[in-house]
Amino acid sequence: MGSEFDFTNKVILIVEDIDTSSRFYKAALKATNAKLILVENGQTAVDVFDSSRNIDLVFLDLNLPDFDGFEVLKHIRKTNKDIPIVVQTAYMLSGEEETSYELGANDFITKPITIEILQKTIASNLS
């Protein structure tokens, strides 16, 4: 299956602890040619972000096994005001969207996430 989007040479850090979700993102983005870095928890996300210079976008789950996604968001924004961060969550809890934007997220989406929503959201946040 082709895609109307071409993310060749774009590196996307995907922070997601649920394996079925990670596999969905991989499959959904395969045709875009994006390079994906998949990590399963907040600490690894922070470590990978700090040691990489070529990440173009962060796709961040709020519900992680070690610390919550807001901590990852805060950490990234301390050193990088510009990188696009898309927050996604399985549950629309009161205040999560507002808090995400306050902490510097560029976009916020909730599950279920379709291939179309995923590709369009990433395209509109990659500059």
Asked if 107 touches Mg ion (CB under 5 A), the answer is no
Distance CA 60, CA 69 (A): 7
Work out how close the CB of 21 gets to Mg ion at its nearest, in angstroms, rounded to a whole number.
Answer: 7
* Strands lying side by side in the sheet with 57-61: 35-39, 11-15, 57-61, 85-89, 107-110
Binding map of Mg ion across residues 31-60, x = CB under 5 A, - = no contact: ------------------------------
Asked if 17 touches Mg ion (CB under 5 A), the answer is yes
* CB of 66 or CB of 107, closer to Mg ion: 66
Binding map of Mg ion across residues 58-77, x = CB under 5 A, - = no contact: ---x-x--------------
- Which among 122, 124, 109 has a CA at the least distance from the CA of 57? 122
